[in-house]
Amino acid sequence: MDVLDTIKQQISDNAVILYMKGSPSAPQCGFSMRASQALMACGQRFAYVDILSNPDIRSELPKFANWPTFPQLWVKGELIGGCDIITEMHEKGELKPLIDAAVAA
């Protein structure tokens, strides 16, 4: 399976997936830390992919998503955005209902 197929499968197999540097418990950059903390505050389980240990995904996902930076949050197959969007949605109270609905579906 090529990298693009792997990415598509990860996105379709997981209602909520975060592509980040490191892991939620050990993020490797401030943006990934803020994004994963906002997601964890929603109280639902979510999948993640450490792009630092997956260089092929790190190089291909920005082209596939048409989004140049990490982290990237995908919910129900749609790109939600990066750290600033995730943080803003969390602060406005918009992130938790989105995540809850995705996990419940």
Domain at 91, CATH number: 3.40.30.10
What is the domain extent for residue 90? 3-104
pLDDT band at 76 (very low <50, low <70, confident <90, very high): very high
- Mean pLDDT value across residues 24-51: 98
Binding residues: 21, 29, 58, 70, 83-84
- Mean pLDDT value across residues 54-66: 97
- Mean pLDDT value across residues 71-78: 98
Binding residues for glutathione: 21, 58, 70, 83-84
Residues 7-43, buried b or exposed e (16+ Cβ, 10 A)? Answer: beebbeebbbbbbbbbbbeebeeebbbbbbebbeebe
> For the chain, what is the domain count?
1
Q: What is the DSSP string of the chain?
A: --HHHHHHHHHHH-SEEEEESEETTEESSHHHHHHHHHHHTTT---EEEETTS-HHHHHHHHHHHT--SS-EEEETTEEEE-HHHHHHHHHHT-HHHHHHHHHH-
What pTM does this model have?
A: 0.97
Structure confidence at residue 1 (pLDDT): 76
Structure confidence at residue 27 (pLDDT): 98
